[in-house]
Structure 1
Amino acid sequence: MLKELASVIDRLEDLLADLQQQETPSPGRVFSSTTPEPISRLVNHWQKLFVGQSGPAPSALQPAAASGTSRWVEELEHLLIRLRHGHKRLHQVQQSTSNRLRQTTLLLQQSDFSPPEADALLSELEGPDAGHQEQLWKLIDCYQAALALCTERHTNISTSYHELRVRLQLLIDELPFSGDIASELNKIKRQLLQLVDDNLLPGLCLQLIELTIEGCRQERHNSTLFLAQLNNNLGEMHHHFAISLSEGEALFDARTHHGHHIAGELRAIGEHLVSQDNAPLKEEIELRMRSISHVLVQHERLQERERSLLNRMNAMEQQIQSLKRESNNFKQQLSAQNDKLFIDNLTQIYNRAAMEERLAVEYRRWLRYQTPLCVALLDIDYFKDINDRYGHLAGDKALRLIARTIQKSLRDSDFVARYGGEEFLILLNNVNPEHIRIPLEKLREQLKKIPFRFKNERVTITASIGATLFLQGDNTTSALERADQALYRAKHEGRDQIIIA
């Protein structure tokens, strides 16, 4: 359209030049009924401009009887001005439309729901002969395809969320926990059944993971207590069993000795009776001797059964000893695994779970004895820059060095744990309140001396520390919040410093 309009304007300018070169007619001269050839060509071009319309020319180009060439020139100049202005505005509109179509298509192409036609459409819009009306319809088709793809994916996502809810419910049914953990799991199960917003699913999954970890920790703790009790019971049983076995063996030996003694005495009596002449007495005594011999045989059989029982008791005693050793080994393994639950995998110091338990213990001790207790939060300054400049492997290496440096700088009675990310918690118990800054300043200076290098570049590590002493009326939460506020001040007042609240 713009090309055709520009062509018409060029042709009109040529015709205007032709008309201006004609002689000016006399005042009394009028146009004949036959229109001059330039005017005829002008009318034909005008009709072509308006999509091949037939019929009379527009009134602006129909010459009046009293008009001359000057009238045609005047009208033509006026129309050319309008056409040039319209051409300029149409060109601007086309440029704006082209840019908007191109931007819209580019955004569609970059989306997750872009159909394959978007690439071809963008190529066409980059071309010089793009027909915007045609491209607009293509763009609408692309948006319809993207909308269909979006709807399809949304349907698939909804189906996936439904399947996830079902799997989580089945998982909750299979978890063998009891008590408070079971109650919390049932709450999550009810929430899954009544869930309307699928965006809440990730939060419920995290709660389920935390409850599962806590349930495993409680089960492990209960197993440790059970094994300890079992080990104690086995020890007591082994002790009493060993005493009973010892007494049984002593009794067996005593009975054997007395049996031999009785048998010897009976043999002596028999030999003495053989030398006597009283026949009736000898017969009666021999009869009693045979009865006593039968009793001795029965006594020997009972001794054999007692010996067999003692042998079985001895074997059982060996089994109890073996079971006790296995129970003790299992207890040690379980204790070691339990310790691993409280160790941070990266830094190999205590993690946040261990910190919570130790903090509770130290808090109870502080309540009972009122010995000064300090809690400090340490955060590495600009640690994100280390990860961004040197990579996460370098950042991990730095965290391990920092953790070891903190441990070496503290007393054995102090406690340090990785609180999260590049933040550490430190407990200083029985510390002098007036000199609380001294060990923390020593620690801060030690961190700056860490010989950390990456790609032959020396990297200086600094830390901000916020600390506080437990005060009357404090609990663990209030003390931690006060230390956290002190750390916030340290970081926003220049970093690499200690604030004690």
Structure 2
Amino acid sequence: MQKDELISLANEMCKELLSIVNEQKEVTREDVANYLQKSAQIIMKVSHEDMSSSGFAEALFHNAYKDIANKSLSSYANTNANIKKLTEMHEKTLLECSAQHIDLPLLTSKFDEIQSHMSDEVKKANEIITQLSTQVKTLEEKSNLDSLTKVFNRRALSSYLKNVCSNNELSYEFHMLIMDIDDFKNINDKCGHVAGDKVLIFIANILKKTLRDGDKVFRYGGEEFIIILNRIDDIHCKQITNRLLALVRGNKLIYKGEGLRVTMSIGTTKYVNGDTPDSLIARADKALYRAKTNGKDQMHTEMK
């Protein structure tokens, strides 16, 4: 790693830390120490290739989603203040009417004015919501992280596999696992999509806590995850895969007071020289299909 890359990381980390300190009314030494500790953990998990990419240091410590959240809160505060003024106008109009004989044309005119102001405020709020939603979508498209599960997304997977498969020969073994949540549609249909999202987060957390730092977890799409196990042989790959199946099977997710039983099916394969991203995924997917058709909650392996 080059010295200027480390300097860039340190500068961005300090800028973000100062920003956090300035935003808080009270900050303790423990708060600063915790931030530095978490930052150190983040840096140690980042690959050299990522650190050398343009703008990576700034993106690593700068939370763009926080900026959008702040804009949302500011917009909400302005809209709320304007709605409060309109409510006061409404109350004043009613008081004036109760103190004298009702002037129907005047009353109608005032309520029309309030309604017009109210419509304008709602229109402005909707325009801001649309703008912020577009910004979030753009961030998600540019980001390498899945916004729901906080594991790597499909875009990151494509980049990673393209880089690996571009090498003529790898000096180490790596295995690919495709994991699919069993009967996920039934969970969504029975318990709702919020429960489905909880299940996806539940699975992602198990994977992140169980796997080694050098392994990669990607959300491939829908209820599917892809795992890359680096520098590992066939026996240990099978052991890890069976352990993941047991952990998912043995942990209950509690949703609205009820336990959800979740299982997964897994297809595995091993990279061989000459593989393309498509051939590697197709082989793992074939193994996954066998796991599904043979009863689910199990693993199968497909070798070239």
Tell me the CA shift for residue 364 of structure 1.
4.3
In the TM superposition, what are the counterparts of 1:25-424 in structure 2 within 5 Å?
332-334=57-59, 336=62, 341-364=143-166, 367-424=168-225
What CA deviation, in whole Å up to 9, does each residue of 1:256-307 have, x standing for no partner? xxxxxxxxxxxxxxxxxxxxxxxxxxxxxxxxxxxxxxxxxxxxxxxxxxxx
Alpha-carbon distance between aligned partners in 1 of 2:56 and 2:226, rounded to the nearest angstrom: 30
Tell me the CA shift for residue 451 of structure 1.
2.7
Q: Do the aligned partners of 1:401 and 1:450 also contact (CA within 8 Å) in 2?
A: no
Tell me the CA shift for residue 377 of structure 1.
0.5
Q: SS where residue 369 of structure 1 aligns?
A: coil
TM-aligned CA distance change 1:445 to 1:475, over 3 Å = same
Q: SS where residue 217 of structure 2 aligns?
A: strand
What CA deviation, in whole Å up to 9, does each residue of 1:346-387 have, x standing for no partner? 11111100111122233346x443311111100000011111
Question: 2:238 matched to which residue of 1?
Answer: 437
Alpha-carbon distance between aligned partners in 2 of 1:331 and 1:421, rounded to the nearest angstrom: 27
Task: Compute the TM-score of the two structures, normalised by the length of structure 2.
Answer: 0.53
Matched, 1:446 2:171: no
What CA deviation, in whole Å up to 9, does each residue of 1:157-178 have, x standing for no partner? xxxxxxxxxxxxxxxxxxxxxx
What CA deviation, in whole Å up to 9, does each residue of 1:142-171 have, x standing for no partner? xxxxxxxxxxxxxxxxxxxxxxxxxxxxxx
Alpha-carbon distance between aligned partners in 1 of 2:166 and 2:264, rounded to the nearest angstrom: 30
Matched, 1:427 2:228: yes
What CA deviation, in whole Å up to 9, does each residue of 1:216-254 have, x standing for no partner? xxxxxxxxxxx98xx8xxxxxxxxxxxxxxxxxxxxxxx
Tell me the CA shift for residue 432 of structure 1.
1.1
Question: 1:495 matched to which residue of 2?
Answer: 296
Question: 1:317 matched to which residue of 2?
Answer: none
Alpha-carbon distance between aligned partners in 1 of 2:235 and 2:272, rounded to the nearest angstrom: 14
Question: 1:484 matched to which residue of 2?
Answer: 285
Alpha-carbon distance between aligned partners in 1 of 2:241 and 2:298, rounded to the nearest angstrom: 10
TM-aligned CA distance change 1:361 to 1:473, over 3 Å = closer
Tell me the CA shift for residue 454 of structure 1.
2.3
Q: SS where residue 160 of structure 2 aligns?
A: helix
Which amino acid in 1 is paired with 2:216?
Answer: F
TM-aligned CA distance change 1:465 to 1:331, over 3 Å = closer
Q: SS where residue 357 of structure 1 aligns?
A: helix
What CA deviation, in whole Å up to 9, does each residue of 1:30-50 have, x standing for no partner? xxxxxxxxxxxxxxxxxxxxx
Which amino acid in 2 is paired with 1:491?
Answer: K
TM-aligned CA distance change 1:444 to 1:331, over 3 Å = closer
Q: Do the aligned partners of 1:418 and 1:424 also contact (CA within 8 Å) in 2?
A: yes
Q: Do the aligned partners of 2:158 and 2:277 also contact (CA within 8 Å) in 1?
A: no
Q: SS where residue 283 of structure 2 aligns?
A: helix
Higher helix share: 1
**Number of positions where the alignment pairs a residue of Structure 1 with one of Structure 2:** 174
Which structure has the larger Rg over C-alpha atoms?
1
276, 280, 287: which one aligns with 1:475 = 276
What CA deviation, in whole Å up to 9, does each residue of 1:103-130 have, x standing for no partner? xxxxxxxxxxxxxxxxxxxxxxxxxxxx
Alpha-carbon distance between aligned partners in 1 of 2:257 and 2:56, rounded to the nearest angstrom: 48
Alpha-carbon distance between aligned partners in 2 of 1:467 and 1:498, rounded to the nearest angstrom: 7
How much identity, in percent, do the aligned residues show?
37
What CA deviation, in whole Å up to 9, does each residue of 1:391-441 have, x standing for no partner? 111111111111010111111100011000000001011111233210111
Which amino acid in 1 is paired with 2:164?
Answer: E
Alpha-carbon distance between aligned partners in 1 of 2:144 and 2:273, rounded to the nearest angstrom: 30
Q: SS where residue 343 of structure 1 aligns?
A: coil
> Which structure carries more relative contact order (alpha carbon 8 Å, separation 6+)?
2
Alpha-carbon distance between aligned partners in 1 of 2:169 and 2:222, rounded to the nearest angstrom: 33
Alpha-carbon distance between aligned partners in 1 of 2:223 and 2:232, rounded to the nearest angstrom: 25
What CA deviation, in whole Å up to 9, does each residue of 1:300-338 have, x standing for no partner? xxxxxxxxxxxxxxxxxxxxxxxxxxxxxx874345568
Q: SS where residue 196 of structure 2 aligns?
A: helix
Question: 2:258 matched to which residue of 1?
Answer: 457
Task: Compute the TM-score of the two structures, normalised by the length of structure 1.
Answer: 0.33
Q: Do the aligned partners of 2:169 and 2:273 also contact (CA within 8 Å) in 1?
A: no
Q: Do the aligned partners of 2:175 and 2:230 also contact (CA within 8 Å) in 1?
A: yes
Which amino acid in 1 is paired with 2:282?
Answer: E
Q: Do the aligned partners of 2:170 and 2:273 also contact (CA within 8 Å) in 1?
A: no
Alpha-carbon distance between aligned partners in 2 of 1:444 and 1:351, rounded to the nearest angstrom: 22
Alpha-carbon distance between aligned partners in 2 of 1:435 and 1:333, rounded to the nearest angstrom: 37
Q: SS where residue 58 of structure 2 aligns?
A: helix
